[in-house]
Structure 1
Amino acid sequence: MAQRPAVRDAGGVGDTAFGELLRDWRRRRRLSQLDLALEADVSARHVSFVESGRSAPSRAMVLRLADALEVPPREQNHLLLAAGLAPAYAERGVDDPGMAAVRAGIERVLGAYDPFPCLAVSRNWDVLQVNPGTAILLDGVAAHLLDKPNALRIALHPDGLAPRIRNLAQWRHHLLSRLRREAGVGGSAELLAEIESYPGGEDCSTDLGGVAVPLELYRLDGVLLTFISMVTTFGTALDLTAAELSIEAFLPADDATAEALRASPTPV
């Protein structure tokens, strides 16, 4: 049976690993102890006690506080472990037999979007699976980027799509903003630093009336394609792999792009 971490006494009040993590998340969300108490429907006194180590939280309390703080699933596991409790989320590979329903769901979504590009990526943006329509996004990408494909490297590396993206600074800002948010809640700081080192600048302006940031990409033959992206996730997943997996579809933003994609030959 897992044991709760020992409380470090300091005049009757000591921090625990859980208390330190909880305080960190509360400060990230810019909440006071009272704010968190109101969000979680508990007393501010109890929040203070579990944060200082004077009270050991129950499993239900850890999850209630995590929900109030909008803590991602992987980090919820860290909170539970820090409190000496079993994690809530398992983690299995996509190829695990128990993930058959997830694999089937990915296949259905990818197939439904074809001939429009659609790909499934992991929490670190590693490409897990693509549909045939994605070939148009991979044409001309250097082989070293396709060996272990990562969607951000393919999009923004100078040997990837970057030289053919007409609004590169705008698209870079869009992707880097997402990556920075993810890095702030447990995402890869190393990947962020790498992607930020690529050339291209940033432009925070938007198009399409501010509704979405378009991807304006020149095909290898010079034809301009314009996309908007839409992300699908497994909202009720109880496995980390499924919870952190996302499926990104690139939909035509104009009739010319839709016609060009429908006219493209299906790769053999």
Structure 2
Amino acid sequence: MIVYTVGELLRQWRQRRGLSQLDLAIAADVSARHVSLVETGKSRPSADMILRLAEQLHVPLRDRNRLLLAAGFAPRHDERPLDDDALSAAFDAVRRVLRAHEPYPALVFDRRWNIVMTNRAVDPFFARVAPDLLRPPVNLVRLGLDPRGFAPMVVNLADVRAVFRNRITRQLAIAPDPELTALYEELLAPEPAGPSSERIESDVVIPMILRIGGRELRLFSTITTFGTPMDITLDEVAIESYYPADAESAAYFTE
């Protein structure tokens, strides 16, 4: 296992963001020489300086803790379960969002796409998948692409696979993660041959088309995240809310 210094880690994040030392220095309001000294280990940065640089580099909270530990400082950001008493207000807000979205499906997943919470509108879809896929942690990507999961219901599976691939590719570019990389390599790489489903010119987003009980449901989704989280759990969870893309799909959920 390679152990990196805080300077080396900061350099990796800077290069990942495509910034020069001068770019980072200007953004953080420090001298380029100071950035250079920190990266080469010739200057030991304070905890506040590490966090200042990490903020400009958009480093996730989990990795900010790693930067602090590499420099010999204590972590600044806690990681607690979503139902922890300390996160009660956030947990209540998430539950309200899920309930308010009914009768349409909505779910909460973490950085590795493991499902944390769902609303009741998701239950009928879970009832159609193999029980072993619902053993915790239930992974949304695996559930969506496995032949024993949602895959047989998805008419435009190639499109859905491409959406997963693009989202996780962007996610890994922002913050590399070995387990997420393994998930990508298992389920999304290499790209399977074959044409994707036809586009409909009036679409403004790529819908997910499900065939259930002889009916086709067209859904699109939005992602909600916490704006200024200070806890790692809140920094990494997202709420995905699904909406009907046409009147027929809306009727299915409201009948």
TM-score (norm: length of structure 1): 0.85
Distance 2:162 2:239 in 1: 20
Partner of 1:216: 209
User: Deviation of residue 65 (structure 1)?
Assistant: 1.0
Contact 2:79 2:232 in 1 (8 A): yes
1:174 to 136, 139, 163: 163
Partner of 1:93: 81
1:156 to 116, 141, 145: 145
Partner of 1:252: 244
What are the within-5 Å matches in structure 2 for residues 224-243 of structure 1? 224-243=216-235
What are the within-5 Å matches in structure 2 for residues 124-139 of structure 1? 124-139=112-127
> Runs in 1 of length 4+ with deviation above 3 angstroms?
197-211
User: Deviation of residue 246 (structure 1)?
Assistant: 1.0
1:107 to 74, 95, 99: 95
Q: Which one-letter code corresponds to 1:186 in the other structure?
A: P
What are the within-5 Å matches in structure 2 for residues 71-82 of structure 1? 71-82=59-70
Contact 1:156 1:198 in 2 (8 A): no
User: Deviation of residue 200 (structure 1)?
Assistant: 5.6
Contact 1:217 1:225 in 2 (8 A): yes
Structure 1 residues 45, 207: CA separation in 2 closer, same or farther (over 3 Å shift)?
farther
User: Deviation of residue 107 (structure 1)?
Assistant: 1.0
Partner of 1:165: 154
2:34 to 40, 46, 53: 46
What are the within-5 Å matches in structure 2 for residues 27-66 of structure 1? 27-66=15-54
Contact 1:232 1:246 in 2 (8 A): yes
**How many positions carry a matched residue from both structures?**
248
Deviations along 1:115-155, whole A, 9 cap, x unmatched? 00001112211111111111243242111111222111111
User: Deviation of residue 108 (structure 1)?
Assistant: 0.2
Q: Which one-letter code corresponds to 1:235 in the other structure?
A: G
**1:83 lines up with 2:76 in the alignment:** no
Structure 1 residues 169, 78: CA separation in 2 closer, same or farther (over 3 Å shift)?
same
Contact 1:16 1:53 in 2 (8 A): no
Distance 2:49 2:37 in 1: 12
Structure 1 residues 154, 42: CA separation in 2 closer, same or farther (over 3 Å shift)?
same
Specify every segment of 5 or more residues in structure 2 that has no aligned partner in the other structure, as ranges. Answer: none
What are the within-5 Å matches in structure 2 for residues 140-151 of structure 1? 140-148=128-136, 149-151=138-140
Specify every segment of 5 or more residues in structure 1 that has no aligned partner in the other structure, as ranges. Answer: 1-14, 264-268
Structure 1 residues 70, 208: CA separation in 2 closer, same or farther (over 3 Å shift)?
farther
Partner of 1:3: none
Contact 2:206 2:220 in 1 (8 A): yes
Q: Which one-letter code corresponds to 1:30 in the other structure?
A: G
Distance 2:214 2:110 in 1: 31
Contact 2:156 2:197 in 1 (8 A): no
Distance 1:211 1:41 in 2: 40
User: Deviation of residue 22 (structure 1)?
Assistant: 0.7
**1:186 lines up with 2:179 in the alignment:** no
Distance 1:211 1:17 in 2: 46
Distance 1:199 1:18 in 2: 36
Distance 1:233 1:179 in 2: 16
Contact 2:211 2:217 in 1 (8 A): yes
**What is the aligned-residue RMSD (CA, Å)?**
2.3
Deviations along 1:61-82, whole A, 9 cap, x unmatched? 1112111111111111111111
User: Deviation of residue 212 (structure 1)?
Assistant: 2.2
Structure 1 residues 200, 161: CA separation in 2 closer, same or farther (over 3 Å shift)?
farther
TM-score (norm: length of structure 2): 0.89
SS at match of 1:92: coil
